[in-house]
């Protein structure tokens, strides 16, 4: 058995299709002779499972693209930037109720810039300027010009 990239993708879609198909049986029955809420998802899930199965077979036939093998450490190194960006964005969303859009945005953009761009004093100064101009500028446009109520955050409310 060849454990390549497509094998895992196919397996994921097969499991997903199975779980979702079982979940369709939990849906309420149709009323007034209308279409069942389960019908459309089943119409999607059956071909999805079939195609995933075809992908699984083709992955075992050696039709899958050869991918370089990486250890877990190398994998993290390879995807370091996107992982860090996603983690910071996740933190930005989690802390939104406390920091709000403005402070959270300033922290998020500054940290993302510095993680991706570097931590030398000159770079930090440049990142601080970019953060201040674009985050405060954009925040001002949305709140003052477009009248959008952005999350204020508990911190700003306290002060």
d(CA 28, CA 112): 45
The nearest distance, CB 146 to another protein, in angstroms, is 5
The nearest distance, CB 62 to another protein, in angstroms, is 15
The nearest distance, CB 159 to another protein, in angstroms, is 22
126 CB burial (10 A radius; 0-12, 13-18, 19+): middle
d(CA 55, CA 8): 10
The nearest distance, CB 115 to another protein, in angstroms, is 9
CB atoms within 10 A of CB 114: 17
Short-list 152, 142, 145, CA closest to 104: 152
Question: Residue 146 gets which letter from DSSP?
Answer: S
User: φ and ψ at 98, to 5 degrees?
Assistant: -90, -50
The nearest distance, CB 91 to another protein, in angstroms, is 11
Name the site residues for another protein (rule: CB under 8 A): 5-6, 9, 13, 20, 23, 27-28, 30-31, 33-35, 37, 39-41, 43-45, 47-48, 51-52, 54-55, 58, 65, 78-82, 85-86, 89-90, 92-93, 96, 101, 105, 108-109, 112-113, 116-117, 130, 134-135, 138-139, 142, 146-151
């Amino acid at each position: 058995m060849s454990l390549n990239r497509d094998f895992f993708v196919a397996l994921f879609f097969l499991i997903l299709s199975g779980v979702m198909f079982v979940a369709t049986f939990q849906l309420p029955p149709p009323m007034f002779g209308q279409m069942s809420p389960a019908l459309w998802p089943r119409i999607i899930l059956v071909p999805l499972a079939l195609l995933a199965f075809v992908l699984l077979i083709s992955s075992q036939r050696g039709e899958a693209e050869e991918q370089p093998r990486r250890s877990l450490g190398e994998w993290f190194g390879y995807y370091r930037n996107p992982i860090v960006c996603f983690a910071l964005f996740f933190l930005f969303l989690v802390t939104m109720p406390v920091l709000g859009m403005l402070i959270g945005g300033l922290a998020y953009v500054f940290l993302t810039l510095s993680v991706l761009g570097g931590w030398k004093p000159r770079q930090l100064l440049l990142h601080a300027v970019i953060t201040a101009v674009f985050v405060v500028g954009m925040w001002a446009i949305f709140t003052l010009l477009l009248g959008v109520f952005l999350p204020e955050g508990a911190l700003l409310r306290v002060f």
